[in-house]
């Protein structure tokens, strides 16, 4: 997996990595999605590029970051098209296996309140959503690289086979504009399993912050078995 860019370039501002635009703000909170490799076919990705081209070219020509209106338009497109496509369970759904989902949940929670603050998270069969605020000097790119690199390696041990690449290299992120936007993003995350028809209520889905927050859950990560050490004996870097 490609290493993240230098932290200084990823603290604030507007930049590209691959297909997607990324708007960063120091102290910001982000909705992020990372998905398994091969979950979106080339035809869908081509449509992704075409739908975004007008907004992106406008921003580049003006040498400015995306406006909040443009960011909202891109998020609405992503959530209505791409996320709905993922929720249909396309591609290999390795995260539908309990052991794999447990391992990813453990990685997400391992450095919560240390390197970052997690407001909401959910592990779906072929992708992961989280709302996260990096704690300086940690950057969003470093955190994502740590999660994906560690879990991509350790899950191969769980599956007892080589799956490379395991994660799609690029992730999607959306900067929360304000408290209302943050609340909406958190609700979007925890209701994703319900929207996908996987459960009746958010707290019913075991691999979700809505589930582990229930009073009946054990301290830390709740009733789900979420290891901080996998069968390979490692911890998130």
Q: 63-100, pLDDT tens digit by residue?
A: 776 677 777 777 777 777 778 888 888 778 999 999 99
Lowest mean pLDDT among 11-15, 39-43, 120-124: 11-15
Examine the pLDDT at 176 and tell me if it is beyond 80.
yes
Dihedral of CA 167/133/129/69: which sign?
negative
d(CA 188, CA 174): 13
pLDDT confidence bin for 43, thresholds 50/70/90: confident
d(CA 179, CA 143): 22
d(CA 54, CA 51): 7
Residue ranges of the domains in the chain? 7-212
Task: List C-alpha distances in Å: 59 to 15, 20, 62, 172.
Answer: 11, 13, 5, 18
According to the model, what pLDDT value does residue 221 have? 38
- What residues are paired with 37 via a beta bridge? none
CB-CB contact of 211 with 123 (8 Å): no
pLDDT tens, position by position, 141-159:
999 999 999 999 999 999 9
Per-position DSSP letters for 154-200, written without gaps between them: HHHHHHTS--SS-B-S--EEEE--SHHHHHHHHHHHHHHHHHTTS-S
CB-CB contact of 119 with 176 (8 Å): no
Peptide bond into 17 cis (omega under 30): no
According to the model, what pLDDT value does residue 23 have? 53
Does residue 122 or residue 57 have the better pLDDT? 122
What is the per-residue burial (b if ≥16 Cβ within 10 Å, else e) of 70-95? bbebbbebbbeebbeebbebbbebbb
Examine the pLDDT at 201 and tell me if it is beyond 60.
yes
Domain spanning 7-212: CATH 3.30.70.1290: yes
Examine the pLDDT at 58 and tell me if it is beyond 70.
yes
| Mean pLDDT estimate for the chain | 79
d(CA 126, CA 132): 20
For residue 75, what are its two tokens? Answer: 């998020």
- What residues are paired with 22 via a beta bridge? 15
According to the model, what pLDDT value does residue 229 have? 32
d(CA 106, CA 204): 18
CB-CB contact of 30 with 162 (8 Å): no
Does residue 181 or residue 72 have the better pLDDT? 181
d(CA 87, CA 68): 26
For residue 202, what are its two tokens? Answer: 């958010």
Does residue 236 or residue 194 have the better pLDDT? 194
According to the model, what pLDDT value does residue 19 have? 45
């Amino acid at each position: 997996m490609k290493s993240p860019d230098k932290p200084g370039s990823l603290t604030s501002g507007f930049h590209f990595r691959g297909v997607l635009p990324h708007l960063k703000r120091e102290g910001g909170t982000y909705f992020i999605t990372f998905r398994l490799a091969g979950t979106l076919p080339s035809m869908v990705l081509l449509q992704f590029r075409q739908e975004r081209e007008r907004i992106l070219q406008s921003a580049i020509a003006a040498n400015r970051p995306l406006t909040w209106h443009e960011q909202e338009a891109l998020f609405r497109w992503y959530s209505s098209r791409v996320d709905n496509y993922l929720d249909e369970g396309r591609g290999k759904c390795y995260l539908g296996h309990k052991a794999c989902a447990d391992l990813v949940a453990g990685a997400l929670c391992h450095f919560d309140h240390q390197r970052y603050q997690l407001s909401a998270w959910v592990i779906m069969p072929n992708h992961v959503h989280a709302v996260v605020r990096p704690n300086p000097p940690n950057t969003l790119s470093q955190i994502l690289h740590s999660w994906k690199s560690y879990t991509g390696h350790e899950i191969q041990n769980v599956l007892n086979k080589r799956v490379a690449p395991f994660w799609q290299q690029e992730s999607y992120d959306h900067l929360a504009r304000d408290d209302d936007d943050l609340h909406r993003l958190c609700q979007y995350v925890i209701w994703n399993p319900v929207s996908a028809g996987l459960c009746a209520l958010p707290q019913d889905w075991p691999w979700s912050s809505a589930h582990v927050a229930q009073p009946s859950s054990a301290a830390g990560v709740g009733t789900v078995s979420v290891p901080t050490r996998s069968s390979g004996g490692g911890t998130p870097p």
